[in-house]
Every structure is written in structure tokens, then in C-alpha cells.
């Protein structure tokens, strides 16, 4: 490693440790940011000599990255940005902090995928899904698919693991040379009714879908979620026991198995390792507080709210909504979520934008109670389970109140 | 369509649906039903014919390609124009607002609109994103408009329409006026669930559709709090 990179790596590690010690966060960004200031090529230098997988998409990146890293650890030590710091400063922190490892699995913000591919030369890129997310600041879905398609056209050497159930992902990935499809099942369909290639309508019949105007259609998948397990390319079915709830995490497990397989990890080795993942950067973690068992679920866009309702136990549920920079300033997406699954339980609401949520729930005929703070919510619920579903910064606020639970 | 229920059509949700556009339909249906007015919501896809006899039509936002396609199909279909001529009410936002005009800009070209509003839209260099508020045309008798805008359009109003509001915060059509209206047609850059933030506009559409001079009041505690908070945040209160 060049001297400049060595110095930058050392500064990066020290800053991360200081940030953690000062209680300012996971230290997942600041160290990498400082390191990149000293050596702009630091991410490139730290990537050299490692076999790397990148995981990108709108939803499930952090969890899939954690599951894939667990699976790949069957082969040797794996560096990973497991706190969801998914931009180049986060990748740099993760690689600097891990020291020398033969492997890395990195979650990548979908907007940064092209740049991170250029700098890390990944062996595999796994593409999970594309749906509406923070539309006031991000590219629209079709534009993102086009950006991805352009990157992969320029990098035919990369192995791509992609979601066969998402027309946007299929269109972005379909012309790459080394391609593996996985099928997680898709619940959210509202962003893929129009073909990104030709603009015609997309028809669906069960799991199948096809464009009515061109050749784009669902490819046959090599890895498929079936019942509570995953079928591999040989046709063998593996029961998947996860500590993480919900159908969506079975899909993430399928993506993780397919990704690890590109490094030669067999499903039989990988499956038991998936079961060791108990929580992901605070998500799904259960915390005891004042006689309540509190569980945190992150939901940041319509597709992930659907998944959160599928995961949440039928217990008192606190919803918290902010609209800060990291969340996007626009709360319109609340109307793309159907909150009616919450009608038969006690619902509390809080957060910077609780009034937006209040009006939404009113229109949705979901009774609720407004609380000013998280502690008030705890006092307002009976001892027992308390499910918390929050969007990004609201989730981080509550996680901080619970002492940065991991 | 049943004779007694209020027909509300969401035009082409497969093409024009972003930013919680569904919210406008949900709020209209909710406010009607709370007053005992039966509602028949209809989601009409772009490969289906539009009903010509519904009471309220909603047109949402969308990306360039779908916007141009929706304008072509609506023109070919012809039933929105027939419905308007028979007195139906229309609420169109964002890309939907633009395509009701004489022409709009999409995919690098100027496209013909439906000519239901005397407005012309083109592109600004930059997107405007943020809180939008304005004082509504006093002839409509409504409290201030509050919404969220996210668009790269600039819209010029012709003599055949009046601005929906005069901008107090945000950009709207051009930094001075926001939206347009004529008869029972409303267009606005306040995207997505503009009716959630402005229940008085929802009630205006319901009054137009039912012919009622007034409607029973509803408990708007939470909308009132939301409106006050958003108007203050926009610096317009
Ligand atoms: Zn097509």
C-alpha cells in the first residue's frame, strides 16, 4: 500500500474510534471521510487484493449485506460496512477498519453504484430492487434503472446477481455476460407497470410478468424462495431459519446465498451462518425497557412499509415519521402506504411530522393516539410487546434513546 | 356506474401516479363518506376507456414518457373532454396539470396537451423542490393553499384561465402565481395529496359535484394542526 494510503488508513481508523468513544455514532462515516481527504485514491487502494461483492437496490441492502457477509465468512474474514453507511466514505471506513481481509461485502447507495464499481473492481454486484424512495431528492425509478444499465454495459467482466421479479432490475442487468437471477417474490408493484425499455404496459400473471411491447419478460430464476426456504440452482431446497422476521428477509437470504455462491460458498455451508444474524444496525433488535419488550423496525418508503406490517407482531405499535435531509423533505409517500393492517391494534404516533401521519391515519380510518416523545409512548402502552416502526432519522433517534442498540 | 353514487375517476394510475397521488382520491372518498354521500371510486388504466359520465376526475403526476403517452391516450379517448362539457369537475397536479394545457415539454420536445386549460408549460433549468403556499383566488372562497412542489416546469397562463393562487412561498407556475382554474377545472403544482393539506379544496370539488351549496362540517382537528405547521414552516403564516 502506498505511504499516503497507509497514513490515510491510520487516520481513518483513529477518527472512527474517537467518534465511537465520543458517542457520536457508529464511527462508520467520519473516519472514511477524513481518510479520503488525505488520499483520494484510498478506497481504490484498500480494495486492491480483495474479492469484493457490492449489494445495491432501494430496499434490503443493509440486511442482505449482513447476510451475505455471514455466508461468505465460510471462506475467510470478510470486511463489511454493516452499519448501513453506504457511500464511499462508509466503504473506506469499513475497509480501513477491517485490516487485511481476503473478502469484502459492501452495501452501496444506488446513486453511487457506478462510482464504487470503478473504484473497487468488484467480483460480484447484487441488485435487489428499485422502487420510489425519497422522490424529492433522488432520481426517479426509470432514470436509476438507466444509470445501472449503462454501468453494466461498460463492465461485462462483473458477475451480476439480480432480482428476476423486478422489471426495472431485469432491464438494467439483462445484457451482462455473467448473470444469476434470484426470485424473492415481489409485493410492491406500483413502480413497474410501464416498461423502462419501450414504454409499453407490463402485464402480470402470478409471478410471471412480461412487456406487451418488447421482448422484456421475467427470466427463469436460479435461486427461488419457496415456502420457508430457498431452492438452489441444482434444484435442492434448503430450509432457511432466520432470526429476522418477515417474508422479505427470506428474499434477502436468497440474494445472500446467490451472492456467496459466486465465491464458491455452497448453500449447505452458508445456511447455518445466516441463522447467526440477530439484528442489523438496530433493525429487528429487541430491547427491554420499563417492562416493555421493544422491537425496532425501519421503514423508509412505501415498499418497506408493506414489509414492516408483515413483520410486526399484532401488539401496540408506535409509528414515528421525520422528514429531515436523510429522510427526504416530502411526506407524500404516506398516501402510497395502506395502514389498514394496523386497525385492530393500539397505534401511537410521534416524530417531527406526526401531523402528516395523523391526517393519513384519519383518512385510512385507523384510530391512533399522538404522543410527544418516545418515553411518553412507553408510558402510554401496557407492559409487554411494543413494536416501533420508524423512517430513517426517526429510527436513529429512537435507537439513540435505546443506547445505540445494534 | 350506479346512478346515486358519486363517481370519482383516477385517470391512468399506471402512467400518472407518483408522490402519493392516490391520496387525493382517498381524501375525496373519505370526506364524502363521512357525510353519508356514497362514492364509487374508479381506477381507470391507460388501456381502458374513460367513463364519460363520472362526477370528478383526478389526474396525477408522472415522468416524461408516461406524461406524453397519457396525453396521447386521453386525446384519442375523448371522454374527459365530453365529461368536462357535461359539467364534471377535474383536479390535476404536476405533470397532470401540464397535460391539461395547450402544450407541455416532455422528452426533449413540445407536446400538444388536451387544451382544457389555457396554459403552456416548458422547462426551467432547475427543479424546484420544497414547501409551496399561496393565497387562493378569492372568488373560490378558500383558505390559503399549502403543498409540496417538485417539478422542473414553468407554466404561462393565457387569458382563458385565472391563477389558482398567488405564491407566498415556493415557486408554483413562475414564482408569482401557482396553478390555474377555469369553470370546475383546477390545476396545481402542489403534488401528491394536495387535498390532504387542503380539505377545503376537496370540499369545493364535492360541492361542485353534488351541486350542494354547503356540506356538513367535519372534525378537521388534525388537518388544521398540519396546515398551521406547514404554513408556518413555509414562512407564509
Ligand atoms: Zn418493453
Residue pLDDT, tens place only, B123-154: 877 889 999 999 999 999 999 999 999 999 99
- Whether the CB-CB separation of A149 and A172 falls below 8 Å is answered with yes
What is the per-residue pLDDT for A199?
81
Q: Which residue of A has its CA nearest to B15?
A: A194
Interface test with B, best of A189, A194, A302, A335 (most B CBs within 10 A): A335
3-class SS of residue A132: coil
**pLDDT in the model for residue B237:** 45
Rg (CA), chain B: 16
How many structural domains comprise chain B? 1
Residues of chain A with pLDDT under 70: 16-28, 134-139, 404-406
pLDDT confidence of residue A142: 83
- What's the CA-to-centroid distance between A210 and ligand 1, angstroms? 8
B66 touches chain A (CB under 8 A): yes
Beta strand segments in A117-222, E: 124-127, 159-163, 178-183, 202-205, 208-211
Chain B residues with CB under 8 Å of A359 CB are 196-197, 222-223, 226
Measured in angstroms, the CA of B115 and the nearest CA of chain A are apart by 24
CB B68 within 8 A of CB B106: yes
* Cα distance between residue A325 and residue A86, in whole Å: 16
| CB neighbour class for A148 (10 Å; exposed up to 12, middle 13-18, buried from 19) | buried
Task: Give ranges for CATH 3.90.190.20 in chain A.
Answer: 286-405
Q: Determine contact: B223 vs chain A, CB below 8 A.
A: yes
In which band, very low, low, confident or very high, does the pLDDT at B189 lie, cut at 50, 70 and 90?
very high
Q: If you average pLDDT over residues B168-172, what whole number do you get?
A: 96
Sequence-separated (6 or more) residues with CB below 8 Å from residue A119: A43, A44, A47, A88
pLDDT of the residue at B1: 47
Q: Nearest residue of B to residue A192 by CA position?
A: B14
Range of the domain at B161: 6-236
If we measure between CA atoms, which residue out of A302, A295, A332 comes closest to residue A316?
A295
The pLDDT value given to residue A136:
53
Catalytic residue annotation of B = 94, 191
User: DSSP secondary structure string, B60-118?
Assistant: ----HHHHHHHHHHHHHH-HHHHHHHTT-EEEEETHHHHHTSSEEEETTEEEE---SSS
Predicted TM-score of the model (pTM): 0.82
Alpha-carbon span A111 to A184, nearest angstrom: 23
Residue B18: per-residue pLDDT: 80
Tell me how far the alpha carbon of residue A353 lies from the centroid of ligand 1, in angstroms.
Answer: 39
Q: Is B232 on the interface with A (CB under 8 A)?
A: no
Chain A contact present for B226, CB below 8 A: yes
User: Is B39 among the domain residues?
Assistant: yes
pLDDT of residue B193: 92
Residue B173 belongs to some domain of the structure: yes
Superfamily for domain range A49-80+102-274? Mur-like, catalytic domain (3.40.1190.10)
* Cβ(B121)–Cβ(B105) below 8 Å: yes
Ligand 1 mean position to A217 CA, how many Å?
A: 8
Classified by CATH at the fold level, domain A286-405 comes out as 3.90.190
Per-residue pLDDT of B14-68, as tens digits, reads 888 887 899 999 999 999 999 999 999 999 999 899 999 999 999 999 888 889 9
CA distance B69 to A164: 27
pLDDT score at B64: 81
Residue of A nearest to B63 (CA): A140
B48 part of a folded domain: yes
- Considering chain A, tell me which residue range(s) the CATH 3.40.1190.10 domain(s) occupy: 49-80+102-274
State how far the Cα of B191 lies from the Cα of B177, in Å rounded to an integer.
16
Query: Closest Cα to residue A2, out of A46, A50, A56?
Result: A46
Please indicate if any CB of chain A lies within 8 Å of the CB of B218.
Answer: no
CATH number at residue B64: 3.40.50.880
Q: Is residue B1 included in any domain, yes or no? A: no
Q: What's the pLDDT score for residue A363?
A: 97
Question: DSSP of A309-329, one letter per residue?
Answer: HHHS-SS-EEEE---STTT-S
Of the ranges A78-92, B71-85, B150-164, which one carries the lowest mean pLDDT score? Answer: A78-92
Amino acid at each position: 500500500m502506498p505511504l499516503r494510503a497507509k497514513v490515510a488508513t491510520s487516520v481513518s481508523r483513529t477518527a472512527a474510534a474517537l467518534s465511537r468513544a465520543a458517542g457520536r455514532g457508529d464511527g462508520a462515516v467520519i473516519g472514511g471521510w477524513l481518510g479520503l481527504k488525505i488520499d483520494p485514491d484510498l478506497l481504490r487502494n484498500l480494495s486492491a487484493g480483495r474479492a469484493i461483492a457490492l449489494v445495491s437496490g432501494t430496499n434490503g441492502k443493509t440486511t442482505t449485506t449482513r447476510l451475505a457477509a455471514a455466508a461468505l465468512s465460510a471462506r475467510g474474514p470478510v470486511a463489511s460496512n454493516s452499519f448501513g453507511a453506504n457511500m464511499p466514505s462508509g466503504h473506506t471506513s469499513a475497509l480501513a477498519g477491517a485490516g487485511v481481509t481476503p473478502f469484502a461485502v459492501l452495501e452501496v447507495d444506488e446513486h453511487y453504484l457506478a462510482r464504487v464499481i470503478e473504484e473497487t473492481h468488484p467480483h460480484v454486484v447484487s441488485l435487489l430492487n428499485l422502487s420510489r424512495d425519497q422522490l424529492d431528492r433522488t432520481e426517479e425509478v426509470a432514470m436509476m434503472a438507466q444509470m445501472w444499465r449503462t454501468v453494466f454495459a461498460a463492465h461485462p467482466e462483473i458477475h451480476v446477481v439480480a432480482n428476476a421479479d423486478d422489471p426495472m432490475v431485469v432491464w438494467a442487468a439483462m445484457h451482462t455476460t455473467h448473470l444469476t437471477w434470484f426470485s424473492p417474490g415481489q409485493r410492491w408493484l406500483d413502480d413497474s407497470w410501464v416498461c423502462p425499455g419501450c414504454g409499453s404496459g407490463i402485464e402480470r400473471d402470478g409471478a410471471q410478468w412480461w412487456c406487451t411491447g418488447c421482448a422484456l419478460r421475467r427470466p427463469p430464476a436460479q435461486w427461488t424462495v419457496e415456502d420457508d426456504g430457498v431452492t438452489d440452482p441444482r434444484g435442492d431446497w434448503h430450509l432457511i431459519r432466520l432470526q429476522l422476521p418477515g417474508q422479505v428477509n427470506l428474499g434477502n437470504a436468497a440474494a445472500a446465498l446467490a451472492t456467496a455462491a459466486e465465491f464458491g460458498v455452497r448453500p449447505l455451508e452458508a445456511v447455518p451462518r445466516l441463522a447467526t444474524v440477530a439484528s442489523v444496525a438496530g433493525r429487528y433488535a429487541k430491547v427491554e425497557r420499563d417492562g416493555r419488550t421493544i422491537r425496532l423496525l425501519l421503514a423508509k418508503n412505501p415498499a418497506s412499509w408493506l414489509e414492516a406490517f408483515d413483520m410486526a407482531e399484532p401488539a401496540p405499535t408506535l409509528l414515528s415519521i421525520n422528514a429531515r435531509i436523510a429522510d427526504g423533505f416530502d411526506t407524500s409517500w404516506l398516501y402510497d402506504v395502506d395502514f389498514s393492517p394496523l386497525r385492530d391494534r393500539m397505534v401511537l404516533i410521534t416524530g417531527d411530522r406526526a401531523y402528516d401521519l395523523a391526517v393519513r391515519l384519519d383518512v385510512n380510518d385507523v384510530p391512533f393516539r399522538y404522543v410527544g416523545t418516545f418515553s411518553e409512548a412507553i408510558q402510554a402502552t401496557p407492559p409487554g410487546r411494543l413494536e416501533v416502526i420508524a423512517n430513517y432519522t426517526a429510527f436513529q433517534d429512537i435507537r439513540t434513546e435505546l443506547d445505540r442498540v445494534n | 356506474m350506479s346512478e346515486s353514487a358519486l363517481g370519482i375517476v383516477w385517470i391512468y394510475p399506471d402512467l400518472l401516479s407518483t408522490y402519493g397521488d392516490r391520496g387525493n382520491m382517498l381524501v375525496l372518498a373519505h370526506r364524502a363518506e363521512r357525510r353519508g354521500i356514497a362514492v364509487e371510486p374508479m381506477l381507470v388504466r391507460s388501456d381502458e376507456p374513460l367513463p364519460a359520465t363520472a362526477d370528478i376526475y383526478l389526474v396525477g403526476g408522472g415522468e416524461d414518457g408516461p406524461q406524453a403517452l397519457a396525453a396521447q391516450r386521453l386525446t384519442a379517448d375523448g371522454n374527459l373532454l365530453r365529461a368536462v362539457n357535461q359539467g364534471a369537475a377535474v383536479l390535476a397536479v404536476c405533470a397532470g396539470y401540464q397535460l391539461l394545457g395547450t402544450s407541455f415539454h416532455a422528452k426533449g420536445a413540445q407536446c400538444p396537451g388536451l387544451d382544457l386549460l389555457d396554459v403552456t408549460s416548458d422547462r426551467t433549468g432547475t427543479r424546484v423542490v420544497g414547501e409551496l403556499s399561496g393565497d387562493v383566488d378569492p372568488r373560490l372562497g378558500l383558505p390559503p393553499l399549502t403543498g409540496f412542489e417538485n417539478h422542473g416546469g414553468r407554466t404561462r397562463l393565457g387569458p382563458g384561465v385565472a391563477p389558482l393562487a398567488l405564491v407566498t412561498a415556493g415557486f408554483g407556475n413562475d414564482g408569482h402565481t401557482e396553478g390555474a382554474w377555469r369553470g370546475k377545472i383546477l390545476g396545481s403544482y402542489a403534488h401528491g395529496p394536495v387535498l390532504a393539506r387542503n380539505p377545503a379544496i376537496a370540499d369545493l370539488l364535492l360541492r361542485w359535484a353534488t351541486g350542494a351549496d354547503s356540506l356538513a362540517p367535519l372534525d378537521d382537528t388534525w388537518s388544521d394542526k398540519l396546515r398551521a405547521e406547514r404554513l408556518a414552516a413555509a414562512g407564509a403564516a
